[in-house]
Amino acid sequence: MATQAAAGPVPVAVPEVRRASAGLWSDAVFRLRHDPTTLVAMAVIAVFVVLALSADLLAANFFHRAFSQQDILSSYDKPSGAEPWQWLGTDELGRSQIVRLLYGARVSLFIGAFGALTAFLIGITTGVTAGYFRGRWDDVVVWLVTTLNSIPILYLLLIIGILWRLEPLPFAILLGSLGWLGICNFSRGQTISLREREYVLAGRTVGCTPLRLMARHIAPNILPLMIVLAMIEVGQLILIESAISFIGFGIQPPTPSWGNMLTNAAQYLGKAPYLIYPPGIAVLVTVLCLYLVGDGLRDALDPRLRGSFGVRR
Partner 1 sequence: MRRLVAIFGVALLVATACSGTANPATSSGGPSASAAASDTPVAGGRIVAGATGDPKTMQPVISTDTQSSFVWQWFYLGLTRTNYKTGETEPSLADKFEQSKDGLTLTYTIKPNLQWSDGTPFTAEDWRYTVHAVARSAKTVRKSTFQDIVGWADYRDGKADHITGITVSNNGMTLEIKFGKVFCPATAAMGGAGGGILPSAAFMKVYNPYNTDTKANIDDNALNMAPPASMGPFVFKEFKPGIQVTLARNDKYFRGAPLIDEFVIKVYADATAIKNALVTGEVTYATVEAKDYDEVNKVDSLKGFRYKTSTYNYIGWNAKAAKAPWLANTQVRQALAYGINVDAIMQKIVFGLGTQVYAHTPPPSWAYDESGLNKYKYDVAQAKKLLEQAGAKMGSDGVYRWTDGSPMKMRIETNQGNNARETILQFAQEQYKAIGIQIDPLLESFNALLDRTDPGTDYEGFIIGWSLGADPDPYSIWHSSQTGKGQFNDVFYSNPVVDQALIDNRNGPDCSQTARKAALHKIDQALNNDVPYTFLYSADGLFFSSKQLQNVDPSTYSQTWNIEKWWFKK
Partner 2 sequence: MGRFIARRLVQAIPTLFGVLLITFLLSRLSPADPVKLMLAGNSEVTVEDREQLMQALGLNDPLPLQFAKWMWQLAHLDFGQSLYYHRPALDLILERLPNSLQLSLLALVVTVAIGVPLGVIAALRRGRIEDHAIRIFSVSGHAVPQFWFGLIVVLTFAVQNRWLPIGSMNVVGTDCTVCWDRVWHLIGPVFVLSIGGIATLPRILRTEILEVISQDYVRTARSKGLKENAVVAVHVLRNALIPVVTSFGTILLVFFSGSLIIERVFNWPGLGRLTFEAAVSKDYPVVQAGVVISSVLLILSYLLRDIAYAWVDPRIKVR
Residue ranges in contact with partner 2 by CB under 8 A: 143-144, 146-156, 158-164, 235, 239, 242-243, 246-249, 262, 266, 269, 273, 276, 280, 283-285, 287-288, 290-292, 295, 306-308, 310-313
Q: Which of 37, 146, 209, 267 lies at the binding interface for partner 1 (CB under 8 A)?
A: 267
Indicate the residue among 72 and 202 with the shorter CB distance to partner 1.
72
Q: Which does 29 bind (CB under 5 to 8 A by kind): partner 1, partner 2, none?
A: none
Indicate the residue among 177 and 252 with the shorter CB distance to partner 1.
252
Q: Which of 54, 75, 125, 177 lies at the binding interface for partner 1 (CB under 8 A)?
A: 75
Contact 265, 276 (CB under 8 A): yes
| 266 scored as a contact of partner 1 (CB under 8 A) | yes
Indicate the residue among 71 and 302 with the shorter CB distance to partner 2.
302
- For residue 90, the 8-state DSSP code is B
Report the site for partner 1 in 87-146 (rule: CB under 8 A). Answer: 92-94
> Which amino acid is it at 153?
I
Does the CA dihedral 54-29-229-139 come out positive or negative? negative
Which residues sit at the interface with partner 1, rule CB under 8 A? Answer: 68-70, 72-73, 75, 92-94, 248, 252-254, 266-271
